Structure 1
C-alpha cells in the first residue's frame, strides 16, 4: 500500500471536513432500529466476515468434503486411509470414485467435480495434466506389479505367463487402455507371447471378479488385488512382470472445491503412515 504525507495545516482543515462527512455518512447509513452496515472502508480494512475467514484459514483446521477419483486397485487401501483421515480431521468427509484410470481421467477432463486424482499410470495421469486440470506436479506415491490370478487350488496348474496361451483356457485381461491392461500387454510383448483373452474388462476388479465367479480360468491383475481377494483366488508370480511395473501418481485438481483438505489427504497418502497401509496391501515403494 502506498502512503502519502500531507502538510500539517492542510491536514487540520481536512480533519474538520472529514469529521463532518463521517457524521453525515453514519446518519445516512443508520437503519431505523439503530443498526449500521459493516463495509470495507477506503483504507482497505477487512470487514468482520473477511476477518473470520482469515482466522479460520490461519487456524490450520481442515474442513469440508474431499472427493477422490482413484484407480480401482486402490479401493481397499484408500478406503482405510479415508476413514483414518476423517478421524484425524473431525468434520471432514472423504468420498471416493474408483474405476479404470482412463475412464476417471476422461470424467475429470469432461468436467466431473473432484478434488484429487490418483492414477495407476503416468500415461493416464497425463490425460489430466495435458488438459490443464491438475494443480502442481503429480507425485508418484507407490508402484504395483502384475500377478496371475487363478481359482483357489489353481486347478489348471498354471505356473507361467506362457501357460495362459494354452488352447481351451479362458483368460481375462484388463482393457488395453487401462493401466493393468497396458502392463499385461507390455509383459506379453517382452516375452514374445500372443494371447487372445475371452474378454477385456474395464478395470482390474472386474477382471478379478471373473475368476472369483469361475467365469474365467485365469486373469492378469495386480498383486494387490490378489491379496485383497483374501483367499478367493490364488496368485501365480511370473518373471516378466518385473518389466511392467506401474508407477502410481497423485495430484490435487485445479478446480478442487476443498483445496486445503485435498492437500491434507494427499499428505496422508504420502506420509509414513499412509505408506505403511499401502505397502501392507502389497504395493511397492515408489
Structure 2
C-alpha cells in the first residue's frame, strides 16, 4: 500500500468524522425537544406549556397553574383563554399549544384528529346573572322574556350559548337578547357594567364576581350540565409534559381547587 493512498484514506476518515459531529449534536437537541427536556423532582418532564382553555376557567386555572408550577419546579404553564369555538379554530389553524380544555364535549369531539383521548375534569351549571341586589327583581327563566329587560346571551356557537338556547327552548321561553357574545366572560361583563339587566352564565362565573353581580339559581330540571374535557394536542412538542398536566387535572389536589371555585366533580 502506497504512502499517498494511506494519507488519502486517513484524511477521508477525519473528514467523515468531522461531518458526523454536528449531525450527532442535532440529533441530541431534537431528542431533548421531543422528550420535553429534563424531568422535575416530581418525575414529570420540564417544559414551558401553553394551554388553550375555555373562558369560564380563567380564574380557577390561574390558581391551578400556580399550584402545578409549585409542585413541578422548572415547568411553566401559560394559559390562553377564549370561547371554546375560538379555541377550536386556533387548533385547526395550527396555533402552537400543548393542551386544550373546552367547556363542552361537542367542541372537543370535533377535534379528534388533533387531540389525544380527552378526560372530563369538571362540570358546571347555568345561572341567571343580574346586577348586584337584583334591581329588576328577576326570579326565574320566564322573567327573561320580558321585553323591557335588557338580556344578553352568548352566541349559539359558544357552548354556554348553546346550553342557554337548549334550556330556553325546552321551557318554550322566547328571549330577544340585546347582544350575543363570543364567550361567557363577555356576557358576565355586560351585566357587571350595567349594560344588561341579566344574562345566562355558568355558576362559577358569578362566584368569581360575587361583589358585582347576583345569581338566580335555575332548577336542575330546567338546567343543563356543562362538561369540561381536557386533552393533549397531537401537535405539541412537549407531549410527556402536556400529558402530565392533563392527568394532574384529575388528581385530588386539582379537583379540590376546581371544587373550591364552584365546579362540580366530573
One fold, TM greater than 0.5?
Answer: yes
Aligned to 2:46: 63
User: Which stretch of the first structure deviates more once superposed, 274-283 or 263-272?
Assistant: 263-272
Counterpart check, 1:112 vs 2:95: yes
- State the shift of 1:30 in Å: 4.0
Aligned to 1:18: none
User: Which stretch of the first structure deviates more once superposed, 56-65 or 77-86?
Assistant: 56-65
Deviations 1:173-216 (A, max 9, x none): 01111010111111111211111111101100000000100000
Distance 1:241 1:92 in 2: 43
1:229-240 correspondence to structure 2 within 5 Å = 229-239=209-219
Deviations 1:207-258 (A, max 9, x none): 0000100000001000000001132100110115754111111100110121
How big is the alpha-carbon RMSD for the aligned residues of Structure 1 and Structure 2?
2.6
Name which one, 1 or 2, has greater alpha-carbon Rg.
Answer: 1
Counterpart check, 1:259 vs 2:242: no
Deviations 1:10-36 (A, max 9, x none): xxxxxxxxxxxxx997775448xxxx6
Aligned length: 252
Q: What TM-score, normalized to structure 2? A: 0.86
Distance 1:256 1:220 in 2: 34
Distance 1:240 1:199 in 2: 26
Confirm or deny: 8 A CA contact 1:114 1:256 kept in the other structure. Answer: yes
Aligned to 2:107: 124
- State the shift of 1:38 in Å: 9.2
Counterpart check, 1:75 vs 2:53: no
Q: What TM-score, normalized to structure 1? A: 0.80
Structure 2: any 5+ residue segments left out of the alignment?
A: 1-6
Confirm or deny: 8 A CA contact 2:47 2:76 kept in the other structure. Answer: yes
Distance 2:177 2:72 in 1: 45
Structure 1: any 5+ residue segments left out of the alignment?
A: 1-22, 41-46
Specify which of 133, 149, 159 is matched with residue 169 of structure 1.
149
Confirm or deny: 8 A CA contact 1:187 1:241 kept in the other structure. Answer: no
Secondary structure of the residue aligned to 2:200 is: strand
Secondary structure of the residue aligned to 1:177 is: coil
Specify which of 51, 74, 79 is matched with residue 91 of structure 1.
74
Cα gap change, 1:49 to 1:79, in 2 (>3 Å)? same
1:178-193 correspondence to structure 2 within 5 Å = 178-193=158-173
Cα gap change, 1:48 to 1:217, in 2 (>3 Å)? closer
